[in-house]
Amino acid sequence: MFRMQLRKVCVQMSSVILCLNLTTPFSVDAKCAAATITLKGDLREGPQQASKLLIEITSTTPGDARRNVRQEVSIRTTHFEATAWFDTFTRIEKGRHLCDRQPRSVILTLFDGDKVLDRVTLDIEKDFQRSPDGDYILKRSVTLGESKPS
C-alpha cells in the first residue's frame, strides 16, 4: 500500500521565495526483518593458521540457491564469535513483502589463505535454539579444525 507524503520545498531566487507543495509516494508496509544467527566456538589450529571464517546459510525454500549472508566474525587466540544475518524475504505478493524464508543449515568454512582447513555443517533444528525475538543461538560451542573438509 502506498500513501502520499506532503513536503513543502522553498527556493530563494534573488529577492523572491518560491514555495511548492510536493507529494511523494512512500510505502507503509514494513520490509522483512533479518534473522540473526549467533555462533561461538573454538579453533583447534589457532589464529596463526586460520585467516578467515566463512559463514553460508541454506534455506528451507525449494530451489533457493542464495547462501551468502552479511556476517561479522571475530577470531581471537583459539576462540571465535560470529553473527550472521539471514534474509527472510521471499517475494512481493499483492504489493506486500512476504517474509517466510527460513534457514535450514549453517555451513562454517575455516580457511588458511585459499586452503580450506575445515568445514562443518550445523542443522538449524538440531543445533540451534530460538530466542524470544526469533533469532537463532547455537546450543553448544563448535570446534573447528578437527575434521577433514568435504
How high is the pLDDT of residue 8?
A: 53
Residues 6+ apart with CB under 8 A from 64: 58, 101
pTM: 0.72
* 148: Cα within 13 Å, side-chain hemisphere: 1
3-state secondary structure of 50: coil
Q: Which residues of the chain have pLDDT under 70?
A: 1-30, 45-50, 146-150
3-state secondary structure of 125: helix
How high is the pLDDT of residue 24?
A: 44
The per-residue b/e assignment along 78-87, b for 16 or more CB within 10 angstroms, e otherwise, is: bebebbbbbb
Domain extent listing, the chain:
34-144
* Whether the Cβ atoms of residue 144 and residue 108 lie closer than 8 Å to each other: yes
